[in-house]
Amino acid sequence: MINLAQYPRFAPPTREQSLLCARRLIAYVRDFAQSINACLPLIDADRLNELIVRVEQRRVYFHVFHPEMKMGELNEFVLYTFWILKLCPFRLPGDFDPGLFNRDLAFAIFTRAVFNEAIKREKKTHLTRAIIDKLLYDFRYRDLSKEAMMTLAETLII
Amino acid sequence: MNVADVVDNPQRFEAEFMAGYDRWLAQKKKEEAAIVNHRWSPDGVSAWDWLREGESKMDTSVVDAAIVESMRSYGAIK
């Protein structure tokens, strides 16, 4: 059988790598929040680091187990979406439901990744208001797996 | 493959297993090759550059309207 000792062990990103990633994610969230005049959120650093490492783990998983199937940016942002929904690293000061707020931020990232991928492929998206409302509900209240969300993102590109 | 062969005829068992393994691996590689390959951001950071690249070309108005409505409902937007 496979000798596990021959496989490298996953090492989490270094402090500097995590900081780089965190800056990009937070800057994007900040810019989005400002663009719609939303309150700028606070960040739970522990949850943010957990999110970054979990996305990285999945990137490595794809590299090790599916080298012919590149993960791609769309799937990478699906992972960010998934872990923001799960970990809720952002919160508003005061008594706000963090689930709803993180859902809205994650949805913004998810849909922008879908739009961007559609543009790259010279296709359109199927993000009607009815589908958007459905997805907002599903992202908050349903159990969507990472793979289901990846497939979902693909099907929105037509 | 015949379960009995694993003891009664190990050479036949091995030959059939190996042929099956090769068939399975070839089919798996074919299935994976059929999946569209996308650009991959190897450093985990440039994906954000990818996302920002297309921003000026996107029409996110319908999505943003829904998000704004949601955020207003719980006070994230006054």
ipTM of the complex: 0.86
Record: contact A101-B37, CB cut-off 8 A: no
Q: Does A72 touch chain B (CB under 8 A)?
A: yes
What pLDDT is attached to residue B43?
57
Percentage of residues in chain B having pLDDT higher than 70: 82
B47 close to A84: Cβ distance less than 8 angstroms? no
Identity of the residue in B29, B32, B51 whose CB atom sits nearest the CB atom of A112: B51
Residue B15 has pLDDT above 70, yes or no: yes
Residue B40 has pLDDT above 60, yes or no: no
> Taking Cα atoms as reference points, which of A49, A63, A51 lies closest to residue A109?
A51
Structure tokens at B41: 């951001």
Residue B38 has pLDDT above 60, yes or no: no
Percentage of residues in chain A having pLDDT higher than 70: 98
Pairing of strands A90-91, A42-43: antiparallel
